[in-house]
Every structure is written in structure tokens, then in C-alpha cells.
Amino acid sequence: CYRRLLQMFGETVLGIPKEKFDEIFEEVKRRRGLKYDIELNVDDLKEIVEKFKRVIREESGRDFPQDPWEQLKLAIEAVFKSWYTPRAVVYRKTNKISDDLYTAVNIQAMVFGNIGKNSWTGVVFTRNPSTGEKELYGEYLDQAQGEDVVAGIRTPKPISKLKEEAPHLYEELKNICELLERHYKDIQDVEFTIEDGKLYILQTRAGKRTARAAVKIAVSMAKEGLISIEEALMMVQPEQLFQLLHPQIDPKFDAKPIARGLPASPGAATGKAIFDVDEAAELGGKGEAVILVRPETSPEDIHGVLASRGVLTSRGGMTCHAAVVARGMGKPAVVGCEAIRIDVEAKKFTVNGVEVKEGDIITIDGTTGNVYLGEVPMVEAEVTGELGELLAWTDEVRTLGVRANADTPEAAAKARAFGAQGIGLCRTERMFNAPDRLPIVQQMILSWKEDRKQILEKLKPLQKEDFKQIFRAMAGYPVTIRLLDLPLHEFLPRLEELVEEVTRLRLTGGNPEELKVKERMLKRVMELTEHNPMMGHRGCRLGIRHPEIYQMQTRAIFEAATELVKEEDLKIYVEVMLPLVSSASELAYLRKIVEETAEEVMKEAGVRVPYLIGTMIEVPRAALTADQIAQYAEFFSFGTNDLTQTTFAFSRDDAEAKFMAYYLENKILPYNPFEILDRDGVGKLIKMAVELGRKARKDLKIGICGEHGGEPSSIEFFHQIGIDYVSCSPYRVPVARLAAAQAKIREKQRNKQG
């Protein structure tokens, strides 16, 4: 105990690196040929204690204080100071906890799980934190202190063994766990110690759980009558659903794993094996897929875990640091994979003759514990079982609609499977991204007016077929199709490259035909190149200058819709949306073109499809003149990506790469406004535009289709200001459904409180 006090006090209070103590401890164990700390005898411990004291003196410049009151005072101070350690700062940032709060200090009498026989210490969850199954789940060690369990020093025993070793204590523990769960109405993570046959509860807190477990626990607790449906809905964080929809390893895949460890946090991940925490943080931060491979992890490694796709450790049990942290973050983890021999220095591991070096691709499956060499095929997750039940409950509670942003038939089908009630944004320019279409689009942009019509004729059947498939996937639900909002710079050949090529062809006297084509292209690209492409010739401006593009698209939309009505008797609801409008006159101009074309097609087809014409609100002037714009729009959809860009005058292409990180670090902004809606500025504009718009047109439909439409805290705001629906990427649809239900529940709670 004294050895432990010196070490923990040295590390935690005096800030001495852990390795300084570990080296001494390991050296004595090695010299004596011992594996476990409990095998050390009194003389060994005396030697270690003397050496520890010396380390403390050398490293901190003071002797270990022998007065317990002074120890206590310094320990309390250390807890308060810990608020600003990098570890705590990162934790708060990840969990969106304000730095302005304070921490508390708990002081408890010590109990000794290492006092001798009949003494144990362990950690137990009231339900399985991986699967959510209702069972006592955890592990414990003989003759040990709590730290030893979480540190993964010895491999602990599963809690079910305690039932055999000390049945009455197991029963007592089980009863206490049930009581705690009933009281807190949530799964508990309980630390206990048995000192010479007497059970003590050291701590209880809400248990960290996987997304899968969170859903199961919430749904089962509601069914057990422990909590209400609304309480169950509040128990799952919307973001967790996103994790749950991660791909899983294809069950049909039967390749041999190279090793198997404990399935500590479910889901599968593929990436480069990286053995150094800082390196993992750096590579992961750059967007590379990384699997962090370590003997074990500690809280100092949190930045590396955060940036990795998954974690593999050779030591530790189901409640070791890596397991707990990965579950909390929703990252796959395989721990205690003892078969792999990690050489941290050489940055490699070996297992059964296979060597995996730094940068080699591996796949881990945190659901089974399997580790594979290379990439493994994955399958998409499905909304079934408890997740299906929970999501069905959200639909009963929420009043905010949820649609999806989808540009392909596959995305539309996925969106329906995830419960989207329509498409809120189909970006038609994204439909041009396919390799067989890009050259046609480039040709269109580069072509002179006379041959553009011809090129458009080539694009129309492709667009029409896409629309048909999307309408089919969304039959019975509205589909908002946005006419072309082409960021020219994304589709044009790069000016610098063209200049280089033309120069090369001129200098080398290359193929004269090729030179002519390139020169013509260069001339056109130079004409089209803009200083501020994001504020340039895009959106409805392009449509106004080249109405034949919007006419072609409107034709494709209505030909697709009328054919489906005639041939397949489907219910199609078309919403045509015009982008980047800043004045009512722009909309009036384009509305006429769209209306005339639509009517023409429907007349030719001899059938009508219900349709609306609306606009995106994504520049401040549109928001400011929303009442005028509403005269020509049957719906608004806020493009909060552009609206954030144009309100802040932050380029959405550059801000995040250039200065956003600095702004956030230095608290110049509290969060990235491209991720979380800026309520004070952008939100104020939206609120105003909603009010102005509805004043001018009572039945104006209003949606959101920027990235914020899938972000929970922004969704709460959209609910509060009476938006009709949000639209987000298909994978975020379940997140948005839950966030919308939670917004409604919170509103009810507020109203109840008056």
C-alpha cells in the first residue's frame, strides 16, 4: 500500500512520469523472475519504496510528505488543477463540456481489497455495456486495488466466477446493482471492493455503453416499465445512431483472422497499423484511416485514440482503458489480443509467423474480436430490432419532418430505408460527377452557345433516367430537385495545367490538332475563370444567363414524372428548387421559365403531376427580403452551408483549412459554424426569413438542407423556430429523427415547468 501511495502520489500529485516508477518496479520483478506484483516479498518492496522516494526527491525537488494532512491537501489541489490538463481539455472538447465549469473532489476512507484472503476488487456493469443484455457484467481480481483492474496489470476474472467463490457476496452485489439502477434509471458502472469478506461500493456512475447497447438498454428499460418512452428516447444520444449504422464485416466473408482478442467495442474498421500515439493522432488528423496498435492505452493516449478508426491492444480486459474509451467514442476496439507480440520500438507486431509493420493495412472486428490482415469486405447496417422500435417511437413524438439529401437512386433507397419522408435536396450537379458524364458537362461549360443545345440533348436522357429512378424510390413522398448550381471551378480543367500543356505543345511542336483544341479550351477557361468562384457565376445566375440548361432539366424532370404516372401509376410529388437566389426578380424570371416548360411537358404527356416551385435561401439578401421572395416561392429551403459562408464572409472552401482551428483553439468562436448552426447570426437571419416568408404566404413550406439539417443541436433550434422539415444525408436520417423527437420532448418539459 505504501509503495502504491508513493507511486500514485508521485504521478498524480507531483506530475512525475509514470515510466520512472515502472522502470524500477519492472527491474526488481525481472531480477527476481516474478510475473505479478503480489509475488514481491517484503524486502523487494522495501527496496522499491526506497528507490521510489529517491525518484520523488530527484524529480520533484522535495521529499514525499509524511504528514497525511499535507498529503490530503496536496491531493485535493491536484484534483482541482487536473481541470486544465491536456487530457481533461480534450475530454471536455470531445464531449462538448464547458471549460467554465468546476470539478468536485470526493474524499473517501480507503478500503483494502489487497488485505489478504477473502478480499477482491472489481468493476461491474448492471447490464452488458457492449450488447445491452440484462446481466451483471464485469470483472474482478484477487487481492488487488481498483487501479489494478482498470490498468490491465493482471488479466481479471469474469464476475460470474465470484458467484462460485463467494455466492452470498455476489448476491449482495447483484441486489445493490439493481437498487442503484432503479434509483438512477440508467445502467450503472459500479466499482466495488471486498475487504476481508465485507462488500464496499466505492463509486457508481452511468455506464459508458456502445451505441448498440444504448439502444437496447433504452428500449428494454421502457418495456420493463423502469422508464417512460420519452425517457427512453432521451437516453440515447442522436450521434450514437450514426455509429450504429457503420458498416459491419460481411458475414459471408470467411477468411482466416490472424488473431483473436476480446470484442471490446463493436463495429469493424480498416486502416494502417500505427504503433505510435502521436503519429496516429497526426495521420488520423489528416484524414488517413489508422488503427492504433498498442500493448495498452492510457488516458495520455486519448488524442491518438480519437484520431484513429479503431484500437487494437495486446493487453487488458473488457473494462481496460482502451475498451472503455473506445466504447464511449463508438470506435471499434479489440483488446487483450495476447497472441500478438508488439514491438513498439521497431513499430511492428508478429503473430503466428505473420509480421505486420507500421503502415500495413489491417482490419479489426470489435464485434467478434477478430483481427485480419488487409482490407475485408463490409456490409451496410440495417434498421431492425430495438433500433427499429426506438426510431418508430421518435416518429410518434416528433413534429419536425425529416427528409434526405440524395442525388442518386441508391442514396434515395437508403434514405427511405432509414425513414426519410422525402428528398429535401437532390443536387443535380452531383449527378454529373460520374466518369462517363463529366466530359459531357465539361464540354457543355466550354461550348459556345450554338453547340450547347446539342450537348444538352446528350445530357437530358441521362438526367431523365436518374430522376425516374429517384422518383420511383421515393414514390408517395415529395422530391425536391434543385436545378443546376454548378461551381464552375470544380468542373473546369485547371488553368495552370492547361497553360503548361499548351506551352509544352507549342515548344515541342506537338500535334497541331491537339494544340488547337487545347488553345480553344484555354481561351474559354480564361474567360470563365473567376476571382471568387463561390460568389461568382453560379446558382440561378447561371440559369438566368443560360436558360436552356434549366429548360433541359425541367423537361427531364417532368418527362420522368409524367412517364412514371402514366406507365407505373406512381404518386409523384415534384418540388423544383432554384439555388442562390438573392432577389425576388431573379426568382420571378426563372419561375416563369420553369412553369412554362413544366406545363408544356405535361400538356404533351396528357397527365398532370402535382408540383411546387420554390427557392433556396442561402444569401443574406434573400433572407432580408423573404417576404418579397415568398410571392414567387411555394417553399423555402435554407442552404445553411452557403448562408453561413455568406453571412460570415468565410469561404466554405478555405476557412476550415486556414484559420478555423486557430479560432476555435483561442475561443474566438465557440464552435465551427459550418458544423453547428450559429444561432446568433445565421439563426437570426433564418428566424426572420421564416417570419417574413410566412407573413407573405401563410402555407409556405419551409425546410433546411445544409449540413446543419443533420446536426442535433441545430435541429433543436430549427424545431424551436417552427421549420417544417430538415433534410440531411441518408446516414444522418435516424440521427435527425431522434434529435427532432428530443427537441419536442425538451419543449414539452420546458412548457410544463412554465
| DSSP code of residue 12 | I
List the single partner that 424 binds among Mg ion, ligand PEP, none, CB under 5 to 8 Å by kind. none
Among the residue ranges 272-280, 445-453, 596-604, 638-646, the one whose residues contact ligand PEP (CB under 6 A): 638-646
The nearest distance, CB 385 to Mg ion, in angstroms, is 37
Judged by CB under 6 A, the chain residues 411 through 450 that form the site for ligand PEP are: 425, 427
The residue count for the chain: 754
* 705 binds ligand PEP, rule: CB under 6 A: yes
Q: Which amino acid is at 55?
A: V
**3-class secondary structure per residue, 267-327:** CEEEEEEECCHHHHHHHHHCCCCEEEEECCCCHHHHHHHHHCCEEEECCCCCCCHHHHHHH
Q: Which stretch binds ligand PEP (CB under 6 A): 273-281, 605-613, 634-642, 653-661?
A: 634-642
Q: Which does residue 640 touch among ligand PEP, Mg ion, none (CB within 5 to 8 A, set by kind)?
A: ligand PEP
Closest residue by Cα to residue 122 from 169, 180, 168: 169
Per-residue x/- track, 169-198, ligand PEP (CB under 6 A)? ------------------------------
Locate the DSSP E strands across 156-245: 157-158, 188-195, 198-206
Interface with ligand PEP in residues 611-630 (CB under 6 A): 618
Q: Residues with Cβ < 8 Å from 403, sequence gap 6 or more?
A: 415, 420, 421, 422, 423, 424, 425, 477, 478, 480, 703, 725, 726, 727
Shortest distance, position 643 Cβ to Mg ion, whole Å = 8
Which residues, in sequence order, are CB contacts of 501 under 8 Å at separation 6+? 518
Q: Is residue 641 close enough to count as binding ligand PEP by CB under 6 A?
A: yes
Bridge partners of residue 357, in order along the sequence = 348
| Per CB under 6 A, 407 contacts ligand PEP | no
Round to whole Å and give the CA distance between 295 and 285: 22
Size of the site for ligand PEP (CB under 6 A): 10
Residue 642 binds ligand PEP (CB under 6 A)? yes
Question: How near is the Cβ of 329 to ligand PEP at its closest, in Å?
Answer: 28
Report residue 605 as a C-alpha cell: 404527356
- Residue 471-490 contact track with ligand PEP, rule CB under 6 A, x = bound: --------------x-----
Cβ neighbour number for residue 395 with a 10 Å cutoff: 13
Select 501 or 618, whichever has its Cβ closest to Mg ion.
618
Q: How far is the CB of 647 from ligand PEP (least distance, A)?
A: 11
CA distance 430 to 522: 25
Percent helix / strand / coil, the chain, rounded to 5: 50, 15, 30
Interface segment toward ligand PEP; rule CB under 6 A; list 130-138, 460-468, 501-509, 633-641: 633-641
- Asked if residues 627 and 692 have their Cβ atoms less than 8 Å apart, the reply is yes
Q: Which three cell numbers stand for residue 513?
A: 490538332
Is 138 a binding residue for ligand PEP by CB under 6 A? The answer is no
From the list 705, 708, 719, 728, the catalytic residue is 705
Smallest distance from ligand PEP to CB 704, Å = 8
Contact pick of 428, 582, 640, 742 for ligand PEP (by CB under 6 A): 640
In the complex, minimum distance from the CB of residue 706 to Mg ion, in angstroms, rounded to a whole number? 7
HEC per residue, 67-80: CHHHHHHHHHHHHH
The active-site residue, picked from 303, 321, 546, 719, is: 321
Q: How far is Cα 158 from Cα 138, in angstroms, rounded to an integer?
A: 6
Using rule CB under 6 A, residue 639 touches ligand PEP: yes
**In this chain, which stretch among 279-287, 354-362, 554-562, 635-643 interacts with ligand PEP, using CB under 6 A?**
635-643
Q: Which does 586 bind (CB under 5 to 8 A by kind): Mg ion, ligand PEP, none?
A: none
Is 321 known to be catalytic?
A: yes
Burial class (CB in 10 A: 0-12, 13-18, 19+), 428: buried
705 is catalytic: yes
Q: How far is the CB of 708 from ligand PEP (least distance, A)?
A: 8
Tell me whether residue 191 or residue 618 sits nearer to ligand PEP (CB atom).
618
To the nearest whole angstrom, how small is the minimum distance from the Cβ of residue 190 to Mg ion? 50
Rounded to whole angstroms, how far apart are CA atoms 476 and 421? 9
What is the number of other CB atoms lying within 10 angstroms of the CB of residue 487?
15
Grid coordinates standing for 456?
444538352
Report the partner that residue 706 touches, choosing among Mg ion, ligand PEP, none (CB closer than 5 to 8 A by kind). Answer: ligand PEP
Which DSSP category does 13 fall into? Answer: I
Binding site for ligand PEP (CB under 6 A): 425, 427, 485, 618, 639-642, 705-706
Residues carrying an active site annotation: 321, 705
